[in-house]
């Protein structure tokens, strides 16, 4: 396995990443999820699995987010899971786009709706690790896509 550069996790953002890594949120499995998606990155053995339950209005009412691998994927999965409840799939797609753009281009002033995900800006200086931060996002997007094609 190729050597992955270590991302120094100190400072305000680093502390937040470590906090989610040590105490990941929303790990309990859901029994009847509307959306289920899993992504794997063989490059560093990262895995992210999401389950989403929608309410009658099409908004997220329950989330399960589980991951294994490096600290970045585990923190990113937990942070993303906190963003989902109460949002429609359209809103989630918009957040996903904004988060991906922020990882490649920086946020500028456009930080709306990113919450703790902003802390992953510490990863930006290590381009190969950006994949780790974005893996749960890819799972989310694939899950939404599959849900739409199933719903027609
Ligand atoms: Zn990783």
Mean pLDDT of the chain: 92
Task: Give a yes or no: residue 6 inside a domain.
Answer: no
HSE-up (13 A, CA, CB side) for residue 137:
24
> What is the CA(71)–ligand 1 centre distance, in A?
7
- As for how many domains the chain has, the answer is 1
CATH of the domain at 123: 3.90.1010.10
Of 43, 42, 46, 35, residue with least CA distance to 81: 35
Confidence of residue 152 (pLDDT cuts 50, 70, 90): low
Task: Give a yes or no: residue 137 inside a domain.
Answer: yes
Q: Name 19's Cβ contacts closer than 8 Å, sequence gap at least 6.
A: 75
Alpha-carbon span 62 to 67, nearest angstrom: 17
> What is the CA(6)–ligand 1 centre distance, in A?
10
> What is the CA(57)–ligand 1 centre distance, in A?
35
Looking at residue 39, its pLDDT comes to 97
Task: Give a yes or no: residue 4 inside a domain.
Answer: no
Q: What is the mean pLDDT of residues 8-35?
A: 93
Each residue's pLDDT tens digit, 68-101: 999 999 999 999 999 999 999 999 999 999 999 9
Task: Give a yes or no: residue 2 inside a domain.
Answer: no
Listing DSSP states for 23-41 in one string gives S-S--S--SS-SEEEEEEE
Of 47, 82, 86, residue with least CA distance to 66: 47
Task: Give a yes or no: residue 88 inside a domain.
Answer: yes
Q: Which domain holds residue 66?
A: 11-151
């Amino acid at each position: 396995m190729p050597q992955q550069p270590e991302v120094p996790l100190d400072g305000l953002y680093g502390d937040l990443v470590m906090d989610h890594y040590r105490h990941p949120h929303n790990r309990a499995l859901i029994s009847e999820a509307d959306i289920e998606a899993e992504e794997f990155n063989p490059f560093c053995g990262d895995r992210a699995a999401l389950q989403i339950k929608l309410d009658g209005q099409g908004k997220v009412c329950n989330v399960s987010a589980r991951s294994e691998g490096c600290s970045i994927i585990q923190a990113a999965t937990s942070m993303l899971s906190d963003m989902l409840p109460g949002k429609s799939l359209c809103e989630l797609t918009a957040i996903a786009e904004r988060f991906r753009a922020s990882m490649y281009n920086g946020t500028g002033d456009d930080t709306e709706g990113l919450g703790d995900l902003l802390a992953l800006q510490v990863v930006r200086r290590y381009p190969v690790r950006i994949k780790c931060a974005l893996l749960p996002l890819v799972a989310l997007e694939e899950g939404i896509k599959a849900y739409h094609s199933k719903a027609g």
